[in-house]
Structure 1
Amino acid sequence: MTTPRRLLLASLTAPLALALSACSDSSEGGEIAEGEAIAPIAAPDGQEWTDIVTVSEYDGYVLGNPDAPIKVIEYGSLTCGACAVFAQNGAEPLKEDYVSTGVVSFELRNQVHNVFDMTLARLTRCSAPESFHALSDQVWANFDTIMAGAQEGGQALQAAGEPPEGQLYIAIAEAAGFFEFFAARGISRDQGAACLADTASIQAIGERSDEQSEELGVTGTPTFFINGSKLDGISWDVLEPALQRAGARTE
C-alpha cells in the first residue's frame, strides 16, 4: 500500500526529480485491432458530450458518452512531465475531435507516486466531477509552476518537521502553494483544506493506484488503454492513429 509517511520521506528529498521518476516506461502494449468506421452518436438534448462526466467503478473520471463504443483510459500522474506534455498537446484534439462525437470516451485515472501527487489528486476531486479533467489539465498546463512549488514546499516541510496528526496534506498544500493555485480556479482555501483533512479519502486514492497498477500492469505514466488493450506509446501522434484504427473515423 502507498503510505503517506513512506511517500513523504521519498518525496521531500528531491521533488523536481519526481517529474522524471514518475514517468518511467510502462511495459509494452499491443496493436489496436482495426474496426469499422463508427458514425457520430448524438448527445442528449441540450448537452455536449464534452460537458458530461461520470465516475467509473475504478474511480476514474469518464469524459463523454459513458456508453461510447471506443473507450480510452489514461493512467496519469499529476507530477509527471510526460503526462503534462500529452495534456498540453493531445488533450484538446482528443476532446474536440473525438470525445465530442460520442464515439470515444476518455477516462482519466490517477497513478500516484509521491505525497505532492496525492495532494493534487485530492484537490482535483474537490469540486463537481465535471471539473476534474479541467483542473487536472490546469495542473499540467502549469507544470513548471507546480513543480517549483513542490521543490520549495519540500524544503519548507523538511525544515518544519513532521506536521500534526491529520494535517499532513494540508501542510503540503500550504507549503507548495497549491491552495493559492486552486483558489484561482474556483476552489477556496477552506474548501481545499476540508478535502485534504479527509485523510481516508486520500489514502484510498493511493490504495487504488497501487491495486490497479498491479492488476493492469501499469508501471509508468502516462499509460493508455483503448477498449482494454494497452497502447504501445504515450504521445498524441501514437494515440490518434490507434483511435482511427479502432473506428473513430469517417469514411
Structure 2
Amino acid sequence: MKAIAGIALIALSLTLAACGKTDAGNSTAASPVDAVAAPAGTNWSSTVTATPDGNFVMGNPQAKVKLLEFASYTCSHCRDFAAEASDEIRKIVDTGKMSYELRNFVRDPIDISTSLLARCGGKDLFYPLSDQFFANQNAMFEKAQALGDAQYQQLMSAPPAQRFGQLADAIGLIDFAKQRGIAEDQAKQCLADTAAAEKLAKGVETASSEYKIEGTPTFILNGTVLENTANWATLQSKLKQAGL
C-alpha cells in the first residue's frame, strides 16, 4: 500500500472488511502477577508515556504484562469494545501489573482525520479523546453519510494538506475536538500534517506485515497475537490466563 496516495483516496465505506473478528480459544494459565504501586500521588491509568515511534503507552512502563490493541475509529467492533472495556482495562492498568497501548490502524480518510485529531493533544489527551471519538462514531457516520458521494469526492480531490481538515470540518470533528481541549488552530495544523498522515498509513503497512492483522480490533499480548479475540469477555479470559 502506498501511504496517502493509497489510503486517502479510497471510497468512503462504513462497513469495511477490516473491521470485525471472531472470538474463541483458550490457553494455559500463567502464575499470578504481583501488583506494583504507582508513584505517590499518581495512578497508573493516568500515567502515559510517549514511545520513540510516536505512540502512547498507558500504565507502568515496567509492567510484566503488556497489552497492545490495534483499532480503528471507524470500526463498529472497536467502538463496542471501547464502550465495554475501557474502564475495565484502566482498573487492571491501575494495579501496575499491565500496561496498555492503543495504536491507530487507519482504514479510510475519516479514520485518518480522527486519528490525527486524537493524537493532536499529545499523550495526556490521547486516551480520553479516543474514548470520546469512539462514542461519537454513530453521529460522525450520520454526518458523513449526509455529505453524499459528490461532496465527498470533492473533499478527497483537495490537496493533501487540505484534504483531512476539510473532511473533518464537514463532519463536525473539528468542533468536537474543540469542545474537548484542542484549539481550532491546533486542530487544523494537525490535520494539515501530511507527514503524520503518511506515518499513520505506513503504520498500517508495518503492522499488517509484522502481525498479519486481518481485522480490528486485534490484540497483542506480550508480543503474541491473540487469535479469535474481539470482545471484552474473551480478552478478559486471556488476561486472567496471563496471571492478571
TM-score under structure 2 normalisation?
0.91
Structure 2 CA distance for partners of 1:186 and 1:4, relative to 1, 3 Å: same
Q: Distance in 1 between matches of 2:77 and 2:144?
A: 17
Does the CA-based 8 Å contact 1:31-1:231 persist in structure 2? no
Moved over 2 A (4+): 1-12, 15-18, 28-33, 55-60, 149-161
Q: Distance in 1 between matches of 2:160 and 2:216?
A: 31
Q: Distance in 1 between matches of 2:56 and 2:135?
A: 19
| Long gaps (5+) in structure 1 | none
Structure 2 CA distance for partners of 1:37 and 1:180, relative to 1, 3 Å: same
Does the CA-based 8 Å contact 1:68-1:105 persist in structure 2? yes
User: Which residue does the alignment assign to 1:34?
Assistant: 29
Structure 1 position 31, deviation (Å):
4.6
| Long gaps (5+) in structure 2 | none
Of 128, 139, 149, which residue of structure 2 is paired with 1:145? Answer: 139
Structure 2 CA distance for partners of 1:124 and 1:38, relative to 1, 3 Å: same
Name the % identity. Answer: 35
- Work out whether 1:245 is the aligned partner of 2:235: no
**Amino acid in structure 1 at the alignment position of 2:143:** G
Q: Distance in 2 between matches of 1:209 and 1:147?
A: 22
Of 177, 189, 192, which residue of structure 1 is paired with 2:187? Answer: 192
Structure 2 CA distance for partners of 1:154 and 1:22, relative to 1, 3 Å: farther
User: Which residue does the alignment assign to 1:234?
Assistant: 230
**Amino acid in structure 2 at the alignment position of 1:61:** F
The alignment partner of 1:119 has SS state of: helix
User: Which residue does the alignment assign to 2:83?
Assistant: 88
Size of the alignment, in residue pairs? Answer: 242
CA RMSD of aligned residues (A): 2.1
Structure 1 position 57, deviation (Å):
4.3
Does the CA-based 8 Å contact 1:75-1:223 persist in structure 2? yes
Structure 1 position 152, deviation (Å):
3.0
**Amino acid in structure 2 at the alignment position of 1:211:** T
Structure 2 CA distance for partners of 1:37 and 1:235, relative to 1, 3 Å: same
Structure 2 CA distance for partners of 1:29 and 1:210, relative to 1, 3 Å: farther
Structure 1 position 154, deviation (Å):
5.8
Does the CA-based 8 Å contact 2:21-2:230 persist in structure 1? no
Structure 1 position 45, deviation (Å):
1.6
Deviations 1:185-206 (A, max 9, x none): 1112211001111111111111
The alignment partner of 1:17 has SS state of: coil
Does the CA-based 8 Å contact 1:77-1:83 persist in structure 2? yes
User: Which residue does the alignment assign to 1:210?
Assistant: 205
Structure 1 position 8, deviation (Å):
4.0
The alignment partner of 1:166 has SS state of: helix
- Work out whether 1:17 is the aligned partner of 2:15: yes
